[in-house]
């Protein structure tokens, strides 16, 4: 049960308080931040635009690369004087560090920034109300980095729709232990939510106006949740089919996938479930078998090619994206050339690429074969230049096509709105704001840097992608 703030008689009305949450890292953190706001709303916390006047500042952090983790400490340095300024007043400021840095650094974080009031890991965010009550009573930092046996999803309030698109976490954690990655340590073991809970959450979102749901998981295609009836388990392919049956849910996406878990059923779903959008983020990390082995990725370059061939034979227009790491320990010029060759062969519509960042506690950080910063920078520049050419080519190839666009917000210029194509490209077009949340058929007129310009057309949806429901306007 959420506890009252100390000194507040339980019969008095709840005092309005301001909450500022800053989110770093992946979409799962975005989802968790929204859930933290939900769990705090009954305590009177309302969103603040700035940290200055917030009663509670939450930094929901990411530990994936050194830069991401260090940013938290520079932000904490800026918050410290704001907190000191309010100390001793009737409206003190509490600072909470949540997420993956909280989990990974725990007590070390408390030593480095003892003025932080609460340190809470990703699996215990539902306990925030009691942690806040404790923090008000204690001069010391309250630390909770448990991996509890009962999942936070059983304790968090159901999310409310907030616009036409939504994230839905279906799976958390990772058992794969890639040698560069902190996620198995920060998020814990793989866990899949029961399918019936996911369907209930999805139906609630759709009845609130959501038309596109992105299913989230650190290893989302490793999903194996208890089936609706309690008999057996469902894979992601099966779950996608069931979700596609929800009337009003027009678009389904999922991220992030691992090549090892791309099973036949999911590949088939890409060919046969129209609501499953023709865009897949399938990180390969490297094109060299030697490096893939050293990374403990559990698949070869050839296996990746085969998966892509099978996906594309069922869905030829499938847009692909990936993550790449350059400068992994021991990466030779030939290994890097293999990665460039893989990119040339596969052709990605967009991608994310990073210099290898040694992370404490991970095996690759211990390697004596670290690559110099200069080499990492040169390889990243070459790789990003190729990826950006491919992104431009992909976007240019859609000029002249008729594509349905789900309008989600104001566009680049006055009188314009922006939305996403099925391939996740941002598309700008002239449209009245009342069309927010509609799927309109457009003709793509130009590709400008990383987005597209289009005009609305009243044509029925073309064959590509098949049968997406389009609002007439
Ligand atoms: N679960 C996803 C990735 C999660 S982390 C998967 O298996 O693909 C997101 C991306 O961050 C990774 O795909 C990887 O490209 C990058 N990353 C992870 N650890 C890193 C490190 N130590 N240095 C640089 N990039 C890293
Ligand atoms: Fe990290 Fe590998 Fe797990 Fe992805 S699969 S979260 S890269 S350990
Ligand atoms: Fe970062 Fe944790 Fe996500 S380390 S990428 S916030 S799972």
Which H/E stretch holds residue 291? helix 289-294
Residue 100 CB–ligand 3 contact under 6 Å: yes
Q: Which atom of ligand 3 is nearest to the CA of 100?
A: 2
Over residues 50-60, the pLDDT tens digits come to 999 899 999 99
For strand 171-172 and strand 191-192, is the pairing parallel, antiparallel, or unpaired? Answer: antiparallel
CA dihedral 388, 394, 395, 397 (to 10 degrees): 140
16 pLDDT higher than 90: no
pLDDT for the residue numbered 17? 94
Least confident of 71-80, 139-148, 188-197, 456-465: 456-465
Which carries the bigger pLDDT value, residue 43 or residue 466?
43
Which numeric CATH code is attached to 17-144? 3.40.50.12160
Over residues 374-399, the pLDDT tens digits come to 999 999 999 999 999 999 999 999 99
Asked whether the CA dihedral 183, 187, 191, 196 is positive or negative, the reply is: negative
Query: Measured in angstroms, how far is the CA atom of residue 356 from the centroid of ligand 1?
Result: 9
Residue 395 CB–ligand 3 contact under 6 Å: no
pLDDT for the residue numbered 231? 73
Structure tokens at 23: 């989110």
Structure tokens at 40: 């705090």
Query: Measured in angstroms, how far is the CA atom of residue 388 from the centroid of ligand 3?
Result: 25
Least confident of 41-45, 162-166, 255-259, 461-465: 461-465
Matching CATH number, 402-456, of 3.40.1310, 1.20.120, 1.10.10, 2.40.50: 2.40.50
Boundaries of every domain in the chain: 17-144, 163-397, 402-456
Rounded CA separation 182/260 (Å): 19
319 pLDDT higher than 50: yes
Q: Which atom of ligand 3 is nearest to the CA of 104?
A: 4
Average pLDDT over the chain, rounded to an integer: 92
Which H/E stretch holds residue 324? strand 319-326
User: Looking at residues 89-107, what average pLDDT do you find?
Assistant: 94
6 pLDDT higher than 90: no
**CATH superfamily, region 163-397:** tm_1862 like domain (3.80.30.20)
Q: Which of 216, 217, 213 is nearest to 244 (CA)?
A: 213
Over residues 411-455, the pLDDT tens digits come to 989 999 999 999 999 999 999 999 999 999 999 999 987 999 999
Pocket of ligand 2 (CB under 6 A): 174, 176-178, 181, 183-184, 218-219, 258
Least confident of 193-197, 239-243, 462-466: 462-466
Q: In sequence order, which ranges of 280-372 are alpha helices (DSSP H)?
A: 289-294, 301-314, 333-346
330 pLDDT higher than 60: yes
124 pLDDT higher than 50: yes
Q: Which of 314, 256, 309, 315 is nearest to 281 (CA)?
A: 256
Q: Which ligand gives the minimal distance to the CA of 190?
A: 2
User: Looking at residues 27-40, what average pLDDT do you find?
Assistant: 94
Q: Which atom of ligand 1 is nearest to the CA of 219?
A: 1
Q: How confident is the model at residue 274 (pLDDT cuts 50, 70, 90)?
A: very high
How many other C-beta atoms lie within 10 A of the C-beta of residue 233? 13
Rounded CA separation 280/359 (Å): 27
253 pLDDT higher than 50: yes
Query: Measured in angstroms, how far is the CA atom of residue 64 from the centroid of ligand 1?
Result: 7
Q: Which of 74, 59, 49 is nearest to 24 (CA)?
A: 59
User: Looking at residues 37-46, what average pLDDT do you find?
Assistant: 95
Q: How confident is the model at residue 457 (pLDDT cuts 50, 70, 90)?
A: very high
């Amino acid at each position: 049960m959420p506890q009252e703030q100390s000194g507040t008689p339980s019969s008095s009305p709840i005092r309005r308080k301001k909450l500022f949450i800053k989110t770093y890292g992946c979409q799962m953190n975005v989802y968790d931040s929204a859930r933290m706001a939900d769990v705090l709303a009954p305590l009177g916390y309302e969103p603040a635009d700035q940290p200055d006047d917030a009663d509670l500042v939450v930094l929901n952090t990411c530990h994936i690369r050194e830069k991401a983790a260090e940013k938290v400490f520079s932000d904490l340095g800026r918050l410290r004087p704001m907190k000191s300024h309010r100390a001793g007043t009737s409206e003190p400021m509490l600072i909470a560090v949540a997420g993956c840095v909280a989990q990974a650094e725990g007590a070390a974080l408390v030593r480095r920034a003892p003025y932080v009031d609460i340190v809470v890991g990703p699996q215990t965010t539902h306990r925030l109300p009691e942690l806040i009550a404790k923090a008000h009573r204690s001069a010391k930092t309250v630390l909770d980095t448990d991996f509890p046996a009962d999942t936070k999803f059983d304790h968090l309030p159901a999310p409310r729709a907030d616009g036409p698109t939504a994230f839905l976490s279906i799976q958390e954690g990772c058992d794969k232990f890639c040698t560069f990655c902190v996620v198995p340590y920060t998020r814990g073991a793989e866990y899949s939510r029961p399918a019936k809970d996911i369907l209930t959450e999805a139906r609630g979102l759709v009845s609130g106006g959501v038309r596109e749901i992105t299913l989230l998981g650190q290893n989302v295609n490793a999903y194996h949740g208890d089936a609706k009836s309690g008999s057996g388990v469902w894979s992601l392919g099966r779950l996608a089919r069931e979700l596609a049956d929800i009337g009003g849910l027009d678009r389904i996406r999922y991220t992030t996938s691992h090549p090892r878990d791309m099973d036949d059923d999911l590949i088939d779903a890409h060919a046969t479930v129209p609501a499953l959008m023709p865009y897949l983020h399938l990180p390969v990390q490297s094109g060299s078998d030697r490096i893939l082995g050293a990374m403990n990725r559990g698949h070869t370059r050839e296996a990746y090619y085969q998966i892509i061939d099978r996906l594309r034979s069922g869905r030829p227009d499938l847009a692909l994206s990936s993550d790449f790491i350059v400068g992994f320990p021991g990466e030779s010029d030939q290994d890097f050339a293999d990665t460039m060759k893989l990119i040339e062969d596969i052709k990605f519509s967009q991608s994310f690429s990073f210099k290898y960042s040694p992370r404490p506690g991970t095996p690759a950080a211990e390697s004596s074969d670290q690559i110099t910063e200069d080499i990492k920078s040169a390889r990243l520049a070459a790789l990003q230049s190729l990826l950006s050419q491919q992104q431009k080519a992909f976007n240019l190839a859609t000029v002249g096509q008729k594509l349905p666009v789900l309008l989600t917000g104001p566009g680049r210029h006055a009188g314009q709105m922006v939305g996403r194509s099925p391939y996740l490209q941002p598309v700008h077009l002239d449209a009245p704001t009342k069309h927010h949340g509609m799927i309109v058929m457009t003709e793509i007129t130009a590709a400008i840097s990383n987005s597209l310009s289009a005009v609305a057309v009243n044509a029925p949806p073309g064959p590509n992608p098949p049968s997406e429901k389009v609002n007439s306007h």
